A and B are shown apart, each in its own frame.
Chain A
Amino acid sequence: MDDFVEVMSELVGLPIPEEYREGVVANMERIHTVAQFVLEFSLPDEIEAAPVFEP
């Protein structure tokens, strides 16, 4: 994840100061873990993201 944060932050043009790096990596790891919970769930192809969400 250290490498991902380094490469991605450079790609998107968002330098991460050294003193925040540990916190950002920890948060990225948390987002990654949480996101897996969504990503492992299989969705039908016809489900689209709504441009304006209709509750």
Chain B
Amino acid sequence: MTIPDATQIAIAVRNQETSARSVTAATLAKIAEQNQIYNCFTTVLSESALEDADRIDQKIAAGEDPGALAGVPFAVKDLFDVAGIPTLAGSKINAENPPATEDATLVKRLKAAGAILVGALNMDEFAYGFTTENVHYGATRNPHDLDRSAGGSSGGSAAAIAAGLVPFSLGSDTNGSIRVPSSFCGVFGLKPTYGRLSRSGAYPFVGSLDHVGPFARSVRDIALLFDLMQGHDPSDPVCTTRSPEFCLPELSKGSEGLRIAIADEYFAKSAEPEVFAALEQVAQALNVTQRVTLPAAGRARAAAFVITATEGANLHFEELRTRPQDFDFAVRDRLLAGALVPGHWYLQAQRFRQWFRDRVREVFQEVDIILAPSTPCVAPRIGQQTMNLDGQEMLVRPNLGIFTQPLSFIGLPIISVPVKRDGLPIGIQIIAAPYNESLVLRVAAELEAKGIVAAPVVDRA
């Protein structure tokens, strides 16, 4: 059975082939039955979701426009404010906070378009991790293999899509937290340009590097969601004042006229052979053979690492001082160390960011799109400590973001696309110059139309 994407559900609801209430009730029933398998949700909002669905049905009955996402259920990483519940951000500490008084900006915009919020999703504590193995709320399981990690830190957001619990979700990405779980769970995940989507009401991690974006099972859904969420928001100081540029009408253009190249050197080593095979599949489908080098990408990753530890520690300093025992052990020692970083290291990393940005801007004079792997491997087993890449034994947790970290560092728009293949999912990053989300989505749409990428639902019913 084909499970409909968000676009299809909204059409069916708007045409009254089904009702928002029956779609929402079916979604809540599936979550009630299957969430125990995957551990995606930290909160399920059954009552308010059904009330919201009834309001959509009433609008339709009254002949009013119910919105482009009429009756489409969705869920958000539990760092987005949802009025009425505390914003956990994967932590025990924040569970003591009072409930949020209003929804995050993006949640408001999606609800205004008719979407139905059904719950909040599991993550690494304070978004500092790539595996969603959370000591307080448990590990989220990968729907493709329950013994494996869903990736992180937006693991619940990706796994909920792969399991077919909801058609779309929101996550955040500071160093790869949308693209890593997208890759491991075999779904589409968009990390837009830094500042392109409002982060207001999303609990911060590293202000310099934090992005928010959607997960879904089709490129048209990602484009629609991005278009609906765009627009300036004065309550996020980083949010762009540019006018929205709509991507959905651009999708049919495909890759025509675009100069596409594969990222070389840093991005062409330290991964399993099957990762490069998946990249080759994508490159061949697009007739791409050209290669480009992003200079000093390894140093970019190092600088992102230093900034992350320092800003993350600054944010949580008071709790680190007074109650370190309440942090997840996987996060605590890194944050404690981050609080001791000399200012010179941090500032040099920030200055390096400007230098690296300028070099990559030059590369984008020569090409429009760059392809690179999203992760160096398929999903590791839950609890796995080490892995072997290029004959080198290395720690799993700090190294899952080797290909994502240098790119979010300078805020480039990137979609991770799930390559159709035998075996566990692998994602490929389609990367463009700042504000060119439409180009990455056009290329993704062509790959989807050609059957090279797809996000099938794992159905265990």
Contact = CB atoms under 8 A, between A and B. Distances in A.
Interface string A13-55: 1111100100111111011001101110101100111101101
Interface stretch (B24-32, B251-259, B302-310): B302-310
Contacts of A44: 355
B194 A43 contact: no
B283 interface: no
A53 B324 contact: no
Interface in B287-330: 296, 298-299, 302-303, 305-306, 309, 317, 320-321, 324-325, 329
Contacts of B412: 55
Interface stretch (B63-71, B149-157, B344-352): B344-352
B298 A37 contact: yes
A38 B411 contact: no
Interface stretch (B197-205, B221-229, B333-341): B333-341
Nearest to A35: B345
B237 interface: yes
Contacts of B347: 49
Binding site of A, secondary structure by majority: helix, strand, loop or mixed?
helix
B343 to A, nearest CB: 11
Q: Interface extent on B, as a size class?
A: 35 or more
Interface in B397-453: 398, 410-412, 434-435
Contacts of A8: 340
B306 A38 contact: yes
Given A52-B237, A53-B411, A38 B349 contact: yes
Size band of the interface chain A makes with B: 20 to 34
Nearest to A23: B333
A40 B385 CA distance: 30
B333 A31 contact: no
Contact of A55 (B193, B332, B333): B193
B321 A15 contact: yes
B20 interface: no
Contacts of B348: 35, 38-39, 43
Nearest to B411: A55
A52 B354 CA distance: 11
Interface of B: 193-195, 208, 237-238, 296, 298-299, 302-303, 305-306, 309, 317, 320-321, 324-325, 329, 332-334, 336-341, 344-345, 347-355, 357, 398, 410-412, 434-435
21 contacts: A9-B336, A9-B339, A9-B340, A20-B333, A23-B333, A27-B337, A27-B338, A28-B340, A31-B306, A31-B338, A31-B341, A35-B302, A35-B306, A37-B302, A38-B302, A43-B348, A43-B355, A50-B353, A50-B354, A52-B237, A53-B208
Given A47-B354, A55-B194, 16 more contacts: A12-B339, A14-B320, A20-B336, A23-B329, A23-B336, A27-B334, A28-B340, A35-B306, A38-B299, A38-B302, A39-B348, A47-B352, A52-B238, A53-B353, A53-B411, A55-B193
Interface of A: 4-5, 8-9, 12-17, 20, 23-28, 30-31, 34-35, 37-39, 41, 43-44, 47-50, 52-53, 55
